[in-house]
Amino acid sequence: MFSCINLHAQAWQVKGKVIDETTGAALAGATVAVKSTNRITQTAADGSFLIQAAKGQVLHITFSGYSFVEAAVTNADQLVQVSMTPDNKQLDEVVVTGALGIKRASREFGAAAQIVDNRNLNQGKTVNPVFGLASKVAGLRINMYDSKVDPQVQITLRGTRSLSRTSGIDGRNPNAPIYVVDGMPVPDIARLNPNDIESITVLKGANAAALYGSEGVNGALMINTKSGKKGRGVIQYNHTTIFSNVFLLPPAQTTYGQGNNGVYDPTQYESWGPAFDGTMKDFGLPLPNGVQPQLLYAAPSKDARLDLFQTGLNVQNDLSLSGGDDKSTYFMSVQHVNIKGIIPEDKNNRTNLRFNGSRKFGKLNTNYNINYSYNKKNTTPDGPWIGAYRYPANFDFGMVKDWEDPLSPGNPLNYFTSQGSWLRNPYFLIDNIRDQSTQQTLTGKVEVDYRFNDWFKALYRVGFYALSDETRSTVRKFEAPGTRNTVGSVSDGSNNYRRLNGDLILHFNKDFGKISTGLILGNNIRTDYRKTTSIGAANLLYPDLFNPGSRQGELNGSVSIAEQRSVGTYGELSVGYDNYLFLTFTGRNDWVSVLSPENRSYFYPGVSASFIPTDAITTLKGSNILSYAKVYASWNRTGNVTLTPYQLNNAYTQNNGFPFGNMVGFLPGLVNPNPNIEPEFVTSYEAGIQLGLFRNRLNFEATYVYSDSKGQIFNATTSSSTGYNSARVNAGRLTNSIIEMNVNGDVVRSKDIKWNLGFNFSYINNQVKELYGGLDNINNFRQSYGVIGAAFPSLLVSDYKRDAQGRVVVDATTGDPVIAADNTLLGTLVPPYQMGLSTMFQFKGISVGAQFDWRMGGWLYSEIVPAMYTAGTDPRTAEYGRQPFVWPNSVIEVTPGHFEANTSKLTSSGGRAFWSKQGEVQINTAAPSDFFKLRELSISYALPISLLSKQSFIREVSIGFVANNLFIIRHKDNKYGDPEYLYNNTDGYLSFRQVPPFRSYGVNLNVTF
């Protein structure tokens, strides 16, 4: 493993070098410590180190992802050459970034934590770092919603704890974990450069995060950005180009074309015409020059809808510089991301700049970082692709591209259908309806800590997060009669948000023999402020002058200001015995501005314990089979407030055209407010075990968690006959029983070949136990409900009346299926079973990594397809030749409760009115959301060192192939889309408003100088 070569050197200095045993590459940043002393250093970029040591002392060398190595100092003059073996699961050495950014050994932790390092995070080269976590952490669920060039993230850790949809001034999902970047809680990390991230530690329990305040109730993502290392500076350059293509459109029928009731109609967009016959037919009305456009009345072999979409492009360039000396370190990076969407003209550009630094002044440590991101987005709002679901199969997108030409069939005056809104020419919508946003995010922190003596340290950290978003939505005027008309409008908005967060932390440590103690006392102040302004005109005079100054009618405008503040004091006491038994108590009191003065103060405690039997029990020590074992448990009760500012009273606003000049008219909001809202509380229990087997070659972790959320603050949808449509209440109870498992092991571990397999599993049994008043369900979003006794949210849909065997009852006179009075509960919209499967294969310089995602047991609902029933484009509408038919497997209720099989009674029709009604029966467009997909595939090749050894400029080069979403296996009934592409932050809900799913593949280049 290591060899000692005597060299002439100073007696008290030990020089050395750390390399990778497999590749021979120098390892920069490895920690070299002299055992039983507090002397510690890190290796420089070339792997070298210099440390004071005396003869007989032992060097303990650790490096993330490698097995530790120990080397005895046999001679004062020696060069210690250390080869380290990769091993990313050295459990007892894992350092966890705990609450408040304090790093500590995993063994002290009384709750589950999982670390995703830079390499694993960036395997799929995602632009938003959160997507890089998908399926890699047990219990963490990540979905994408409103998926354009800048998709939004839905992230949930360990199940749903809140019935609310948004919370707080930052509008965060109350079921999302808190994001903490270098110790500073921030509302969002979407704009963070994933390459800047050293690692993300996922603290899963509320206990682990209790010290961050209420938002930590769902756990925390502790994000550590990179810092420079002492030694020669390192420059890294990374380039990625990824292409994306649309897939998984819901299938459409290719038998019938445009028309009504079986008769061709050149101006009808719906497919209720005669069967395609291969003749040329008139399409739309004659053009102004008298030419009658024609189309071949036959469905092309290739899905014509795909013509609307283009190949998306995602180009990332990243450059970073880092380095340091004895007293200071720096890390600088710049990233540029350029995205072209799968919808023509959709684009997003992002530039990120980061500067991290640290400097020591004797006992005073300072470190600071600043991150600036500039994101410019230009998209067309929901629209152009919606028509594609509803147009006939022979529609020719190319024919209508040139909408500006007055003689083109694409011109709005000539367009074949005069229907407005989403059915206008898609290219017209793309060119004329635009949303632009320029978002600047500035985050920074300054941290100073002063070590007064060896047992007391004080730290003050102040951080800010500022977001400025300038938006502009424009609709270009096109004057035409009726629905062909497009009114010009403009709306300019600005959204300014800032957060200031300050923590004062006193940190005491003292060991008393075998007993170690630690005490943290802290105080936190947070202020959040948001101001949104919008000004606009709904009727512009000129097509190309987007300014409210040239308008007709009145000016639109609104301003909204919101402010939220909180103060917290907290403490943590930890006691350890002989480094194998640990006990930690936490407590925090918060005072928040969004509650009434009587209710604004609340306290929440927690306790956790961990025990390392492999260290405690002599007979277990040094075993080659069970190398490491840890058991842990915790309890805590965490308070949470999911209100946004000013929700205690009913705000009155002017609607319906008011004010009409001097005539004012105010209406109350329709959420019944409650001034006496109190904090809700989540009680969690957790117990787990962690095992390292066969010298930590196989690692296993299992955790059981139970959480009980009581007194939920939520909007209970109530009957409109109460006057209000919902009531804000402190009621409702949700429980989660969760099993999480992680298995990770090296299948092959040889000099040249390494093959690692990882598997994570979580089962979440979420249940709504209580709701408000006598309600047995509440509406979450459309078909998504909270139902007592079922998981939240669950899918509740309209269904046919059925007999005991589930056969559909048809009306004895009409032959049409009868719609049941009550809706049917199909099941949870959140897959209770989630599995992630990872594999990493390395052979010399080649490495192949793949991440599979498997989710089972949930349901989805598509609102894309009902409209396709009405438009006659759904394949089912063509199944019976558009004729009346006997509803399959149906019965007739001959006498009440007595059913007989229906073999001859035909439906009333097989046309539009009939199928449109079936589209409304929601069970027809629901399906299990099970899927198995290859989420990420990365193949890379690192040039052999020997190739680069002739020069000293370039140190490492690797090239690779990267792909996302390469294949997906769905449940056979799911013909609707990708179950993880959600609409409006709602689990299991697919909409025509979202861009269809896409898959992507590309190339990647890494160079280190």
Partner 1 sequence: MKNIFRFVIPVMMLISLGSCKKFLDVNDNPNSPISETLPLRAKLPAALVSSVNQESIQLNQIGALWGGYWGTTNEGISMFVDLKSYNGPAIRHQRDGIPVWENAFNTLLYYQLLKEEAVEEGYFFYAGISKIMQGWHFLRLVDVYNNIPFDDALQGTQFPTPRYEEGKVVYEKAISLITDGIADVKRAVPGTEPTTDDIIFNGNKTLWAKLANTIKLRALLRQSQAGNDAFISIEIQKIQAEGSGFLGIGENAYVRPGYLSTAGKLNPFWESYYRNVQGVITGNYQDIRPTVFAIQSYQTRNDPRLEKLYVPVNGNYNGVLFGNPNTAPAYSRVNTSAFRGPQENGNQPGALFKSISQPSVLMSSFESLFLQAEATQRGWLNASTAKALYETAIQESFKYMEVAAAAFTPYNLQPSVNYDAATDKIRRIIEQKWLALNSISSIEAWSEFRRTGWPEIPNSLEAPTATSRPLRLMYPETERMTNNANASAQGSDDMLNSPVWWDR
Q: Interaction with partner 1 in 965-1004: which residues (CB under 8 A)?
A: none
Positions 846 through 875 that interact with partner 1 (CB under 8 A): 870
Distance of alpha carbon 878 from alpha carbon 911, whole angstroms: 9
Restricted to residues 240-269, the positions that interact with partner 1 (CB under 8 A) are: 260-261, 263, 265, 267-268
User: Any idea which residue has 């899927």 for tokens?
Assistant: 931
Confirm or reject binding of residue 163 to partner 1 (CB under 8 A): no
Alpha carbon distance 109, 126 (integer Å): 30
Q: Which of 553, 622, 806, 896 binds partner 1 (CB under 8 A)?
A: 553
Give backbone dihedrals phi and psi of 974, rounded to 5 degrees, phi first: -90, 100
Please choose, out of 16-24, 97-105, 468-476, 907-915, the segment that lies near partner 1 by the rule CB under 8 A. Answer: 907-915
Minimum Å distance from CB 751 to partner 1? Answer: 55
Q: What is the DSSP letter of 624?
A: S
Nearest to 128 by CA among 343, 340, 320, 339: 339
Q: Which is nearer to partner 1, 479 or 752 (CB)?
A: 479
Cβ–Cβ < 8 Å for 639, 586 = no
Asked if omega into 250 is within 30° of 0 (cis), the reply is no
Q: Smallest distance from the beta carbon of 622 to partner 1, in angstroms? A: 42
For residue 24, the number of C-alpha atoms closer than 13 Å in the C-beta half-sphere is 11
* Pairing mode of beta strands 347-361, 328-340: antiparallel
- Positions 510 through 529 that interact with partner 1 (CB under 8 A): 521, 523, 525
Does residue 823 interact with partner 1 by CB under 8 A?
yes
364 binds partner 1 (CB under 8 A): no
Mask for 467-486, x = binds partner 1 (CB under 8 A): ------------xxxxx-x-
Stretch that binds partner 1, among 209-217, 450-458, 466-474, 757-765 (CB under 8 A): 450-458
- 99 close to 210: Cβ distance less than 8 angstroms: yes
Q: Which stretch binds partner 1 (CB under 8 A): 289-297, 738-746, 766-774, 995-1003?
A: 766-774
From the list 180, 78, 202, 198, the residue with the least C-alpha distance to 136 is 202
The DSSP 8-state label assigned to residue 805 in this structure reads T
**Options 207-215, 227-235, 719-727, 957-965: segment touching partner 1 (CB under 8 A):** 719-727
**Min CB(913)–partner 1 separation in Å:** 4
The tokens 């089979």 sit on which residue?
625
Tokens of 269: 């967009």
Minimal distance, residue 472 CB to partner 1, in Å: 19
Which CB, 117 or 811, lies closer to partner 1? Answer: 811
DSSP-derived letter for residue 552 is: S
Whose Cβ is closer to partner 1: residue 561's or residue 947's? 561
Determine, following the binding rule CB under 8 A, whether residue 672 of this chain makes contact with partner 1.
Answer: yes
Binding test (CB under 8 A) with partner 1, winner from 154, 356, 443, 674? 674
Interacting positions 622-661 with partner 1 (CB under 8 A): 645-646, 648-658, 660-661
Asked if 549 touches partner 1 (CB under 8 A), the answer is no
Say how many Å lie between the first and final Cα of the chain, rounded: 28
Would you say how long the chain is, in residues? 1009
Q: How far is the CB of 986 from partner 1 (least distance, A)?
A: 13
Of the candidates 759, 763, 689, 738, the one whose C-alpha atom is nearest the C-alpha of residue 109 is: 689
Min dist. Cβ of residue 469 to partner 1 (A): 19
584: enclosing H helix or E strand:
strand 581-592
Out of 724, 761, 854, 992, point to the residue binding partner 1 (CB under 8 A): 724
Instruction: Give the pairing type, strands 364-379 and 433-453.
Output: antiparallel
Over the window 406 to 435, marking each residue x when it contacts partner 1 by CB under 8 A and - when it does not, the resulting string is ------------xxx---------------
CB-nearer residue toward partner 1: 813 or 903? 813
Q: Which of residues 31, 106, 195, 566 is near partner 1 by CB under 8 A? A: 566
Q: 353, 535, 538, 626: which one contacts partner 1 (CB under 8 A)?
A: 538
Rounded distance between C-alpha atoms, residue 61 and residue 38, angstroms? 13
Q: In which region does residue 198 sit, left (phi positive, over 0), alpha (psi from -120 to 50) or beta (all else)?
A: alpha
Binding mask 775-814 for partner 1 (x = CB under 8 A): xxxxx--x--x----------x-x--------------xx
Q: Which is nearer to partner 1, 398 or 675 (CB)?
A: 675
Q: Is 911 in the site for partner 1 (CB under 8 A)?
A: yes
Which residue has 């989805």 as its token pair?
Answer: 860
Q: Is 822 in the site for partner 1 (CB under 8 A)?
A: yes
Distance CA 654, CA 14 (A): 77
Does the protein bind partner 1 through residue 819 (CB under 8 A)? Answer: yes
Rule CB under 8 A: is residue 561 a binding residue for partner 1? yes
Using CB atoms within 10 Å of the CB of residue 656, give its burial: 0 to 12 exposed, 13 to 18 middle, 19+ buried.
exposed
Footprint of partner 1 on 592-611 (CB under 8 A): 592-597, 600
Site residues for partner 1, 84-103, by CB under 8 A, read none
Range in contact with partner 1 (rule: CB under 8 A) among 148-156, 553-561, 893-901, 929-937: 553-561
From the list 549, 774, 896, 897, which residue makes contact with partner 1 (rule: CB under 8 A)?
774
Contact flag: residue 584 with partner 1 (CB under 8 A): no
CB 671 within 8 A of CB 725: yes
Can you tell me whether residue 7 is helix, strand or coil? Answer: coil
Task: Indicate whether 668 belongs to the interface with partner 1 (CB under 8 A).
Answer: yes
Q: Which residues of 8-27 are buried (b: 16+ CB within 10 A; e: fewer)?
A: eeeeeebbbbbbbbbbeebb
883 binds partner 1 (CB under 8 A): no
CB of 917 vs partner 1, minimal distance in Å: 5
Assign 547 to helix, strand or coil. coil
**What letters, b where the CB count within 10 A reaches 16 and e where it falls short, cover 45-60?**
bbbbbebebeeebebb
Q: How many beta carbons lie within 10 A of that of residue 478, not counting itself?
A: 19
For residues 446 and 488, the answer to whether their CB atoms sit within 8 Å is no
Q: Closest separation between CB of residue 271 and partner 1, Å? A: 12
Is residue 547 a contact residue for partner 1 (CB under 8 A)?
A: no
Stretch that binds partner 1, among 114-122, 315-323, 395-403, 768-776 (CB under 8 A): 768-776
Find out whether 17 and 47 touch, Cβ atoms under 8 Å.
Answer: yes
Q: Which of 485, 269, 482 is nearest to 387 (CA)?
A: 269
Alpha-carbon dihedral sign for residues 877, 879, 881, 886: negative
β strands within 99-230, DSSP E? 103-105, 113-117, 140-145, 152-157, 178-181, 184-186, 197-203, 220-225
Rule CB under 8 A: say whether 452 interacts with partner 1. Answer: yes
Candidates 723, 789, 881, 888; binder of partner 1 (CB under 8 A) is 723
Q: Is residue 542 part of the contact set for partner 1 (CB under 8 A)?
A: no
User: Which CB, 581 or 775, lies closer to partner 1?
Assistant: 775
**Cα Rg, the chain, nearest whole Å:** 31
- For tokens 């002017």, the residue is 654
Range 85-114 burial, b when 16+ CB lie within 10 A, else e: bbbbbbbbbbebbbbbbbeebbbbbbbbbb
Among 912, 955, 970, 999, which residue sits at the site for partner 1 (rule: CB under 8 A)?
912
Which residue lies nearer to partner 1 by CB, 264 or 961?
Answer: 264
CB of 669 to partner 1, least distance (A): 9
- Local structure of 722: helix, strand or coil: helix
Closest to partner 1 by CB, 79 vs 521, is 521
Least spacing, CB of residue 660 vs partner 1, in Å: 4
Q: Between residues 98 and 866, which has the closer beta carbon with respect to partner 1?
A: 866
Per CB under 8 A, which of residues 286..345 are in contact with partner 1? none
Among 9, 504, 609, 620, binds partner 1 (CB under 8 A): 504
